[in-house]
Amino acid sequence: MFQTEQQIIEANIKTFCTANGIPLAALEWKPIPFSGEWGFSTSFFGTAAAEARLGKKVVVAQRAQEIAEQVKRQIDVPGLSHIEAVKGYLNLYFDTREYTRRVVDTVLEQKNCFGSGPATGQRVMIEFSQPNTHKAFHVGHLRGTILGDAICRILEFAGNDVVRANYPGDMGMHVIKWLWGYLKFHNGEEPATDITRWMGEVYAEAAHRIEENPDLEAELRSLYARWDQRDPEIVALWERTREWSLEGFRQMYAALDVHFDVYYFNSQEEKPGKEMVEELVRRGIATDERAQGGAVIVKIDEVLGLDKEQFRTAVVLRSDGTALYATEDLALALHKFRDYPDLAKSVYVVDVRQSLHFTQVFKILEIAGHAQAQKCSHVSYELVTLPGNVVISSREGTVVLLEDLLREATTRARAEAHKKNPSLTEAQLENVAKAVGLGALKYPILARENTKMVTFDWQTALDFNGQAAPYIQYAHVRCNSILRKAGGLPDVGRSTFDYELNPAEIQLIDMISRFPGEVQRAAAEYKPLAIASIAYDIAKTFAGFYDACPVMQAEPQVRAARLRLVAATRQTLANSLALLGITAPEVM
């Protein structure tokens, strides 16, 4: 927001250093840790160290301070209140009123675009969620879905053209197991209300029976073969039951406020995948060991002539000729680029256990000469486990179903909302319960490094206090409440902060001004955590402001300025929550 001033100052510093033979190191500007005023700074440690390396006898910290002091005397830029040289840092403080005005006016002008980046002209596909049909949809799947959705929202806001892709696993050993179990124990049954739950139960039962009696695996293999030959009876059953699952997913996504632009299905990639494998064999990249009872494999390290085990060996087709996920992922990767030839990036948001799989798939594509491979990347995330490091497993039955979690969260949120604010109408209660319940669910997942495990427990998931979505939503509600009581914003074109600002106000401005930078960082690193953090920081700072700075009862001029600040805060909170897929309610 002060780029012009920064550039002038940078030029000043360079001129001075050149004139005095000082080997200026690269200048890096950072915000000054808050001390009651807003400003930004750069240090001269690097420059002093460079002098030392050139043989000059200096104590680096001392010399850095010396340079900072000299430079300080060279700078004369309007808009700055004062400049200081401290501990080797050059601190530039803005005219606080001017800065505040700029920030607030920018937010109010740009509204729901505040923080967004300029269009990059890049189309990016994000594949995420990937639920398996014929299985339960549980909290383990929640992370990939929530994370992928947030990444899409952030990348879009940062200026990219995002394609949201889903890739349900609608065929594979798990589906065969389900069909087997259905035919054997539930033939003719149809799901009633809880579709996904019922699908999950049928699967768990089948998996269990097969585990108890491994001899039954022969039946599975023969069923898989019937599918592979497209036995009409099996295909028809598969189509009907698959639709049950997909309907369940649609309901789940609607409840989560997540949508997709395109669906790919692994069943559709079987044939093209097999063809690709054939070609790999013809070209000598893949080795067909089926004659010896083996599978079709790609010895990647050997193909690349590597001594160390790095990419290892990938199985790309089962010994019986049926397709694996690897088979299908090879085809899908190219399929995406046929559908969207201008894709700049093709991103896969999938849990960390599949890291080697994607490394192998992308590497094989590269070896086969497909340039698209360079544009493919895997964004991995850690698992959601249950207390005691118990992995959530449909087979073990250690699942917390998403629908149960959602119901519990909204019920709790509703009760809480009613308790805190009995004046809410039924319709309002409904909205608040949905917004708060869902937000409480999403926030803890997004406010965590992708590489860190999340342990699910009901207490934490349903804790609405402290560093959580409801706290941020509440800050938004408070902003809204003030603005509602004030009857909107005063009719002025721009803000005038013509009074001595309270430190809490300045701190709030500081946080708001950081939002656009955090959007860029979150997008560049696929890191919703950056948004989750800044949203919380803004809410926290606003709470301090709310306590320290009366708005309604302030003198007219102060009141007008603060109302605009409150409006800017509300907007920024709403924008940041939107990036997390969390609703910002009007009342709570």
Name the residue among 187, 172, 201, 196 with its Cα closest to residue 244.
196
- State in angstroms the smallest separation of the CB of 123 from RNA: 26
CA distance 476 to 478: 5
Identify which range of 4-12, 38-46, 99-107, 136-144 contacts RNA by CB under 7 A. Answer: 38-46
Long-range contacts of 257-262 (CB under 8 A, 24+ apart): 257/438, 257/581, 257/583, 258/129, 258/145, 258/146, 258/149, 258/581, 259/164, 260/129, 260/164, 260/165, 260/166, 261/163, 261/164, 261/165, 262/163, 262/164, 262/165, 262/166, 262/339
Q: By CB under 7 A, is residue 389 in contact with RNA? A: yes
Q: Which of 19, 55, 451, 500 binds RNA (CB under 7 A)?
A: 451
Contact 398, 386 (CB under 8 A): yes
- State in angstroms the smallest separation of the CB of 583 from RNA: 12
Strands 30-31 and 287-288, sheet pairing? unpaired
Q: Which of 38, 43, 143, 511 binds RNA (CB under 7 A)?
A: 43
| 359-388 positions binding RNA, by CB under 7 A | 382
| 47-86 positions binding RNA, by CB under 7 A | 48-49, 52-53, 60-61, 64, 86
Q: By CB under 7 A, is residue 536 in contact with RNA? A: yes
- State in angstroms the smallest separation of the CB of 549 from RNA: 5
Q: Which of 173, 216, 246, 489 binds RNA (CB under 7 A)?
A: 173
Mapped onto helix, strand or coil, the DSSP state of residue 466 is coil
Q: Which of 118, 308, 341, 342 binds RNA (CB under 7 A)?
A: 308
Name the residue among 417, 420, 466 with its Cα closest to residue 443.
466
Q: Which of 125, 295, 300, 333 binds RNA (CB under 7 A)?
A: 295
Q: By CB under 7 A, is residue 464 in contact with RNA? A: yes
Residue type, 10: E
Identify which range of 1-9, 30-38, 179-187, 364-372 contacts RNA by CB under 7 A. Answer: 30-38
Identify which range of 107-115, 147-155, 247-255, 450-458 contacts RNA by CB under 7 A. Answer: 450-458
Q: By CB under 7 A, is residue 309 in contact with RNA? A: yes
Strands 343-351 and 123-127, sheet pairing? parallel
Q: Which of 128, 471, 497, 515 binds RNA (CB under 7 A)?
A: 471
- State in angstroms the smallest separation of the CB of 386 from RNA: 12
| 141-170 positions binding RNA, by CB under 7 A | 169
Q: By CB under 7 A, is residue 249 in contact with RNA? A: no
Q: By CB under 7 A, is residue 108 in contact with RNA? A: no
Phi, psi of 151 (to 5 degrees): -60, -40
- State in angstroms the smallest separation of the CB of 375 from RNA: 21
- State in angstroms the smallest separation of the CB of 341 from RNA: 27
Q: Report the run of H or E that residue 240 belongs to, with start and end.
A: helix 232-256
- State in angstroms the smallest separation of the CB of 528 from RNA: 11
Identify which range of 3-11, 200-208, 399-407, 470-478 contacts RNA by CB under 7 A. Answer: 470-478
Our CB check for RNA shows the closer of 260 and 536 to be: 536
Q: By CB under 7 A, is residue 553 in contact with RNA? A: yes
What residues contact residue 280 under an 8 Å CB cut-off, 6+ apart? 286, 296, 298, 316, 364, 368
Contact 187, 147 (CB under 8 A): no
| Residue 92 CB burial class (10 angstroms; 0-12, 13-18, ≥19) | buried
- State in angstroms the smallest separation of the CB of 566 from RNA: 8
The owner of tokens 């302030």 is 554
Q: By CB under 7 A, is residue 529 in contact with RNA? A: yes
Identify which range of 118-126, 180-188, 364-372, 535-543 contacts RNA by CB under 7 A. Answer: 535-543
Question: How many positions of this chain bind RNA (CB under 7 A)?
Answer: 102
DSSP 259-272: --SEE--HHHHHHH
Name the residue among 526, 447, 506 with its Cα closest to residue 93.
506
Q: By CB under 7 A, is residue 123 in contact with RNA? A: no
Q: By CB under 7 A, is residue 490 in contact with RNA? A: no
Q: Using CA of residue 452, residue 453, residue 454, residue 457, what is the dihedral sign?
A: negative
Q: What is the dihedral of CA 68, 5, 520, 35, to 10 degrees?
A: 50
Contact 192, 168 (CB under 8 A): no
- State in angstroms the smallest separation of the CB of 175 from RNA: 8
Q: By CB under 7 A, is residue 271 in contact with RNA? A: no
Q: By CB under 7 A, is residue 467 in contact with RNA? A: yes
- State in angstroms the smallest separation of the CB of 364 from RNA: 13
Q: Which of 13, 22, 41, 203 binds RNA (CB under 7 A)?
A: 41
Q: By CB under 7 A, is residue 32 in contact with RNA? A: yes
Distances (CA, A) of 573 to 6, 471, 542, 563, 566: 28, 11, 10, 15, 10
Q: Which of 174, 242, 434, 570 binds RNA (CB under 7 A)?
A: 174
Contact 374, 344 (CB under 8 A): no
464-478 CB burial, b ≥16 within 10 A, e <16: beeebbbbbbbbbbb
